[in-house]
């Protein structure tokens, strides 16, 4: 199992510098692959629609996920509800490449997350800060994504979570070793993982940005803030010209520190997704709050 965990962290390393795109059918998956996505996230409704339509959001139909697996050769990920380990068992049974235990779906357990060590397939989990990231890694996540606020097209929460994560890492790195147990207590994080961050100055797994990324500039912003790659959910297929925008965001992640290239890829992309200001969303309706 230890070896499988290393291999699962390794797959995340190979996704770095790439864009993982939400898709709801094989056609969209093909558009994403053709645009240069490094993986796709198969789901029935993108977060913007989940937000709009309401109701309970669950794991997608395995048939639909299998059709997407057949349509593309890049890794296929899919979401399960927080704590819903049977949905995860089902996705493992169809050989999914990565499971996202996601706050975008309606949580199944309001206390516990899935024991991810019990699975062979890898998990990515959302986090708003270092403590949350280390709790998820402690449970067996082999990749982290900052949560942002999905389905809004407003990048403010993604920025907040990435900055909070980086601040946490800086604090732990510069702490006196004697302070680490107290920090572990304060963050609610496993001591050995706090120790790892202190010794290495980084998370033990890859960290992508997610939640509200809608433009090439947003993607490059998250990369310049230190993200290893980006998830784009509603931002692509809720925009005026998905193929073009998808390709532009892929290039923006490769050339994230080259403003001239960013200017060129940002030109003439048509309409971006209609955004919602996160500040207009009542606290209790915010997805990022889900997760414990």
- Active-site residues: which are they? 79
> Does position 34 bind other proteins by CB under 8 A?
yes
CB of 20 to other proteins, least distance (A): 10
| Spatial separation of the C-alpha atoms in residues 238 and 83, rounded to whole Å | 29
Binding residue for other proteins, selected from 97, 100, 103, 154, defined by CB under 8 A: 97
For residue 76, the cross-strand partners are: 40
Of the candidate spans 184-192, 195-203, 211-219, 243-251, the one that interacts with other proteins by CB under 8 A turns out to be: 243-251
Nearer to other proteins among residue 74 and residue 82 (C-beta): 74
Binding residue for other proteins, selected from 98, 123, 187, 208, defined by CB under 8 A: 98
DSSP state of 105: S
- Rg of the chain over Cα atoms, rounded to whole angstroms, equals 18
| Spatial separation of the C-alpha atoms in residues 72 and 86, rounded to whole Å | 26
> Does position 204 bind other proteins by CB under 8 A?
no
Place of tokens 């033990």: 204
| Spatial separation of the C-alpha atoms in residues 130 and 171, rounded to whole Å | 10
CB of 185 to other proteins, least distance (A): 33
Nearest to 16 by CA among 202, 199, 140: 202
Q: Which residues of 145-169 are buried (b: 16+ CB within 10 A; e: fewer)?
A: bbbbbbbbbbbebbbbbbebbbebb
| Spatial separation of the C-alpha atoms in residues 75 and 20, rounded to whole Å | 9
CB of 208 to other proteins, least distance (A): 13
DSSP state of 40: E
| Spatial separation of the C-alpha atoms in residues 90 and 93, rounded to whole Å | 5
Nearer to other proteins among residue 187 and residue 208 (C-beta): 208
Binding residue for other proteins, selected from 1, 14, 86, 274, defined by CB under 8 A: 14
Nearest to 137 by CA among 186, 89, 176, 195: 195
> Does position 140 bind other proteins by CB under 8 A?
no
| Spatial separation of the C-alpha atoms in residues 129 and 36, rounded to whole Å | 29
Alpha carbon dihedral 146, 147, 151, 156, in 10-degree steps, equals -70
Nearer to other proteins among residue 64 and residue 175 (C-beta): 64
Nearer to other proteins among residue 95 and residue 277 (C-beta): 95
Binding residue for other proteins, selected from 22, 24, 31, 33, defined by CB under 8 A: 33
Of the candidate spans 70-78, 157-165, 183-191, 215-223, the one that interacts with other proteins by CB under 8 A turns out to be: 70-78
> Does position 11 bind other proteins by CB under 8 A?
yes
Nearer to other proteins among residue 180 and residue 262 (C-beta): 262
Nearer to other proteins among residue 98 and residue 237 (C-beta): 98
CB of 278 to other proteins, least distance (A): 29
Q: What is the size of the binding site for other proteins (CB under 8 A)?
A: 38
CB of 42 to other proteins, least distance (A): 13
Q: Which residue ranges make up the site for other proteins (CB under 8 A)?
A: 3, 6-8, 10-11, 13-18, 33-39, 69, 73-75, 92, 95-98, 120-122, 247, 250-251, 253-255, 258
């Amino acid at each position: 199992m230890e070896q499988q965990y290393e291999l699962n962290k390794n797959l995340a390393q190979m996704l770095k510098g790439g864009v993982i795109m939400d898709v709801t059918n094989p056609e969209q998956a093909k558009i994403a692959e053709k645009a240069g996505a490094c993986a796709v996230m198969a789901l029935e409704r993108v977060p913007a629609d989940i937000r709009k339509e309401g109701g309970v959001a669950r794991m997608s139909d395995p048939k639909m996920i299998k059709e997407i697996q057949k349509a593309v050769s890049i890794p296929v990920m899919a979401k399960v509800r927080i704590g819903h380990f049977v949905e995860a068992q089902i996705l493992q049974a169809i050989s999914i490449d990565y499971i996202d235990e996601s706050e975008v779906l309606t949580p199944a357990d309001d206390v516990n997350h899935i024991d991810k060590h019990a699975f062979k397939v890898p998990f990515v989990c959302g986090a708003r800060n270092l403590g949350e990231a280390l709790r998820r890694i402690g449970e067996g996540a082999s990749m982290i994504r900052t949560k942002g606020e999905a389905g809004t097209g407003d990048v403010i929460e993604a920025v907040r979570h990435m900055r909070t994560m980086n601040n946490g890492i800086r604090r732990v790195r510069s702490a006196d070793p004697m302070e680490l147990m107290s920090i572990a207590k304060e963050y609610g994080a496993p001591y050995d993982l706090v120790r790892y961050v202190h010794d290495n100055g980084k998370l033990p797994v890859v960290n992508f940005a997610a939640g509200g990324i809608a433009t090439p500039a947003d993607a490059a912003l998250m990369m310049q803030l230190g993200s290893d790659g980006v998830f784009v959910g509603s931002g692509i297929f809720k925009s005026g010209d998905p193929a073009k925008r998808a390709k532009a965001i892929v290039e923006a992640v490769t050339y994230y520190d080259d403003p001239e290239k960013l200017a060129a890829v940002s030109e003439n992309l048509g309409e971006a997704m209609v955004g919602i200001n996160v500040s207009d969303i009542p606290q209790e309706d915010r997805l990022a709050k889900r997760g414990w």
